[in-house]
Structure 1
Amino acid sequence: MNNGIIRPLVICPFQKDNRILVAEGFDESKGDHYYRPIGGGIEFGESSADALKREVEEEIQATISNISYLGTIENIFQFNGKQGHEIVQVCHAEFADSTIYELESFEGIEDNGTTLKLYWKSLSEFEDGNLRLVPENLLELLKRNGGIRVFRGEPK
């Protein structure tokens, strides 16, 4: 996180049934666990769709298809005692390998070598306030777009 920099990101709340795929994080200054869909920074000259494909490949070695834009969230937040500011493109996509939808949890890796713990979490856990989904307003964006799109069988 760079102070004074607005960071462009793309994320994808991959969906199966009424659950989304999220990475678990922890804010040490708040003592707070949170969950965020995978994705990452958009590089100069790169489209958000290309950035999403690259980030998913880098983080979990998976190929995705059928990318569609859901909306944008401006995210101004505090993490580990520092302010952050992001413009987050939110997309829907599908995994080319349908076996990923069968896993309850698995691991990935960030570009800095940190291990990601990924889980399929029910939207009701976020709606009930049992778990915290970031960026803020992501759950509302998903609801405005007709809820989640249910994965049914092989992606196109």
Structure 2
Amino acid sequence: MGLTIRPLALAVIRRGDALLVFEGRDDFKDETYYRPLGGGVEFGESSKDALKREFGEELGAEIEVGKRLGVLENVFTWRGTAGHEIAFLYEAAFVDPSFYERDEMKIIDEPATACWVDVAGFRDGSKILYPDGLIGLLSPEQGPGGR
């Protein structure tokens, strides 16, 4: 982590009323949380290109990056360490439709799994979605596959 602000690009991929997220755990806070997939933006790389690269690395998947939904600033503590992120959030879709048929996807470079979680759980507060403010950027009327 370190004392730097980390730029991130995250993809909002929808399957009907569900969002593609990975489940994380912070034992310090005794909290289970969810976050869209994506990762850090490298120097000289656009946030859209970072997102495409991350999906290639994490899922071996090609995505189409759509419109930017917003930018969220996230100042937080994770496992007792301070963090500060600027997250660029984009609508995105899998190029290969078979990805929508998978209920779980193993993340290649981490001991984590991506899954579809119903947005209703985030809206009613029964499940935690990071970064803070993301739920406010999600339009309720989006259809299946984010199209």
Give the TM bin, normalised by the shorter chain. over 0.9
- Structure 1 position 149 matched with structure 2 position 145: no
Letter of the aligned partner of 2:61 in structure 1?
A
Provide the residue aligned with 2:129 in structure 1: 133
Letter of the aligned partner of 1:64 in structure 2?
I
Moved >6 Å (runs of 4+): none
Deviation track 1:92-141 (CA, whole Å, cap 9, x = no partner) reads 1110110111111221123xxx2221110001011121110001111012
- Give the whole-Å Cα distance in 1 for the aligned partners of 2:59 and 2:14: 16
- Give the whole-Å Cα distance in 1 for the aligned partners of 2:29 and 2:92: 32
Deviation track 1:67-115 (CA, whole Å, cap 9, x = no partner) reads 22111000001100011000000001110110111111221123xxx22
Instruction: Name the one with the larger strand percent.
Output: 2
Query: Between Structure 1 and Structure 2, how many residues are aligned?
Result: 147
Gaps of 5+ in 1: none
TM-score normalised by L of structure 2: 0.93
* Residue identity (%): 41
Provide the residue aligned with 2:11 in structure 1: 12
Tell me the CA shift for residue 65 of structure 1.
Answer: 1.3
Deviation track 1:7-46 (CA, whole Å, cap 9, x = no partner) reads 0000012101011000000012111110000000000110
- Give the whole-Å Cα distance in 2 for the aligned partners of 1:148 and 1:79: 33
- Structure 1 position 118 matched with structure 2 position 117: no
TM-score normalised by L of structure 1: 0.88
SS of aligned partner of 1:5: coil
Letter of the aligned partner of 1:150 in structure 2?
G
Letter of the aligned partner of 1:11 in structure 2?
L
Provide the residue aligned with 2:37 in structure 1: 38
SS of aligned partner of 1:37: strand
Superposition RMSD in Å = 1.6
